[in-house]
Each structure stands twice: as C-alpha cells, then as structure tokens.
Amino acid sequence: MGGSSATDLHIVPLGAGDLIDRAVRLYRRHLLVLIRIAAPPVFVSALGSVIFWTIAGPKVFSTQSSSELALYVMLALLGLALLLGGHLFGLIVMGGASRNLVEHLLWNEPVRARATYAAVRSRFWSLLGASVIISLWIGLSSSVAFFGWYIVVLFISVGSILLAQWAPVWLSAIVGAIGVLAGSTVALWLFFFMVGRVAYVPQVMLVEGKRVFESVSRSFTLAKGNVRRLMAMTLFIVFATYSALMILIIPLSWYGYLNGIDPAPWSTAQWPVWYAISYSILEPLSSILLAPVWMLGMSLLYVDERVRHEGYDIELMASQKLPEMPQLNVNSPLAPAIFVEPGKSSRPQRSSVASVFRP
C-alpha cells in the first residue's frame, strides 16, 4: 500500500460490484481495527436487545405481580432505549470512519480506532442530531414504501380474484404472483430512492465540515443515481450478515436440541435463560463481523459520488502534489479535499491516494 502512487488511481466511476469488492478488500486488510471501531455501537444494541427481547419483554406479559410488572416495563424501556441508541451510535461512528478513510486515501494515514473516535468526539452532538434526522427519514421512507406496496398488492389481489371468475385459476395465480413481485420490487426501489437522499450526511459532516442541515442538503445533491448501488450494497450486507448468523446459530441449535430444547423460534417461551441469551447475542455478534463492511461501503460510495459529480479523484491528487490550499469559504471542487479546522494545518503529504481504487 505504501508503495503505490497517485497515478495508480482508477478514475472510472465504480459500479456496485467494484464498491463491494473494494470494501471487502479494505475490510480484510484492517480486520481487527475495523471490528474494534464497529464493536461499541453493536455492543450497546446487543445489550438493549437482550434486555428488551429476552429479559424484560416476555416477563411483561407473564408476571402476576404489579411491582414486578413495573420493574419489567422499566427494563423494557431501558432495553429499547439502548437498542435504538446503539443504532444511532452506529450512524455517528460511520461519520468518524469516513473521515479516517478519506485521510487514509489522501495521506495514507493508518486506519485507527483512536482516529475514528477522535473525529466522532469533535462533532458528536451535531452527528447525534443528524443521526436522529436520518432515523426519522428512514422511518418515513419505510412508511411510504410499505403504504405503496400495500395499495399495489391490494389492487392486484382484487384483480386476481375477479380474473379467477372467468379465467383458469392457475392463470390468476400466476398474474397475482407476478404482480406482487413487481409491486415489491417497485416498493423496494422507492424505499432506497428516499433513503439514498440522506445516505451521505455523516460523511459530509466529517469530511467537508458542514453543519447538520447543510449536510442534509449536500447529501440530497450528491445522491443522484445511487439507488442501484445502494440497494446492491445493502442486500449484500444483509445476506452476508444472516449467512454469518446461520453459521453461528446452527451449532447452538444442535447443542440445544441434544439437551432437550426445542430450537424453533415459536418455542421461545420454553427456552432456558442461558439459551435465550446466547441466541440473542449471536445476531449482534454477526453484526460486529459485518458492520465494518457497511461502514467502508458507505464511505467508498460517498467518495465515488464525489468522483462522479465533482472530479474528487483529481482533487485528491492535487492535494498530494500541490502545496496546502488556503482555507477558502468555497464549495467543492475548489475547496480542500478534506476539511481542516481553521488554525490547524493539514497532515503531512504522503504517498498513495487510494490503492483500493485500482482494479
């Protein structure tokens, strides 16, 4: 990595497969550091999940004591707060990771957990506000996509029933299945189209130094034509995460079955505490292993958007080859490749702009 040069930069915009490939390569190269970066927010979510779903949740509906009910309700609220807080924390850490990644591309700075969390601390409250906005937008996007899917499926179901009155049943079933599949695809596209508008808010805040609402507006500007790549990356992460989850769950399920435990998900009420807690921990554990790929993928996607729309690759090379630019109050691509607080000089120029962008 250290021996590559700026001329090795692959200037052609990257497709979904290339982005995933580079994210996986970076993940393999910095595996332990990236797991350390991703572990704290996933640990908070895991703790909340265990409290909410395993300890407090089932007891709320089974306890007969009013005092115990109050205790379990409070524990459930605490678990829910930790669960949601962990996901917000993950969005916050993503911003710090993007800053560290761009420094890695620009100056060949090492990928370090300390650098990531130092960047997070520098803009923590702004990142928290941005994460809340992103979460609300994701909720709105989910509602709109689900409502559209429900209307389409309802219309198709009624049409299939009417079609079955004069056409063969098999033809009605095929038309209904195709219609539901098409409606689901459109709803999924609509969801990612809306979510993609705010996909780059944490990255913009940490890399470009913008305020919360400026970052939201900037993310809307950058997010043009990113639906397919964002959808492909998300589906890849979901598939990989649940594949890792199955690898972890299957041995636990066999061990529980050999000890007289029914591992079926609908038998959770009969599970012993040790098995229920172990089962609840496995999903966050698989997330710890795959969350860094998601962080890297989103950061690379942000860089690629700037390469596509603003010639950011040339900006990165210029930042390496030319003297330090003055801190001008102008927009990219005339602004420095990475925001530096006034009064602070940028890091020393180093070799390698981005070997991860080579084919």
Sign of CA dihedral 279, 284, 287, 292: negative
Let me know if residue 1 belongs to a domain: no
Segment holding 158, helix H or strand E = helix 124-163
96-110, 185-199, 239-253: segment of lowest average pLDDT: 96-110
Is the Cβ–Cβ distance between 191 and 230 less than 8 Å?
Answer: no
Mean pLDDT of 101-124: 86
Residue 173 structural domain: 6-338+350-354
Quick one: three-class SS letters along 250-291? HHHHHHHHHCCCCCCHHHHHHCCHHHHHHHHHHHHHHHHHHH
User: Is residue 53 situated within a structural domain?
Assistant: yes
pLDDT reported for residue 130: 93
Q: How many other β-carbons are positioned within 10 Å of the β-carbon of residue 185?
A: 11
Number of domains within the chain: 1
What DSSP character marks residue 7? G
pLDDT band at 147 (very low <50, low <70, confident <90, very high): very high
The rounded mean pLDDT for the chain is 81
* 160-211 residue pLDDT tens: 888 888 878 888 888 888 988 988 999 999 999 999 999 999 999 998 888 9
Cβ-proximal residues to 133 (8 Å cutoff; 6+ apart), any chain: 198, 201, 212, 216
310-332 pLDDT, tens per residue? 777 676 666 666 655 555 555 54
Of all residues in the chain, what percent carry a pLDDT higher than 90?
A: 23
Distance CA 301, CA 231 (A): 12
**For position 266, what pLDDT does the model report?**
74
Q: Give the per-residue pLDDT at 320.
A: 61
Please give the structure tokens belonging to residue 279.
């089962």
List the one residue out of 40, 25, 186, 182 whose CA is nearest residue 114. 40
Range among 234-243, 306-315, 336-345 with highest mean pLDDT value:
234-243
Do 200 and 305 contact (CB within 8 A), yes or no? yes
* CA–CA distance, 94 with 28 (Å, rounded to integer): 18
What is the b/e burial string over 39-66, where b = at least 16 CB atoms within 10 angstroms of the residue's CB?
bbbbbbbbbbbbbbbbbbbbbeeeeeee
Lookup: tokens for 218: 């900037």
Segment 328-338 shows an average pLDDT of 54
Cα–Cα distance for residue pair 16/107, rounded to 1 Å: 25
What is the mean pLDDT of the segment spanning 238-263?
A: 86
Higher pLDDT, 323 or 63: 63
For residue 345, is it within any domain? Answer: no
Map residue 342 onto helix, strand or coil.
coil
- Domain presence at residue 75: yes
Asked if the structure places residue 143 within a domain, the reply is yes
- 295 class by beta-carbon count within 10 Å (0-12 exposed, 13-18 middle, 19+ buried): buried
Spatial separation of the C-alpha atoms in residues 217 and 204, rounded to whole Å = 10
Residue whose token pair is 């500007």:
221
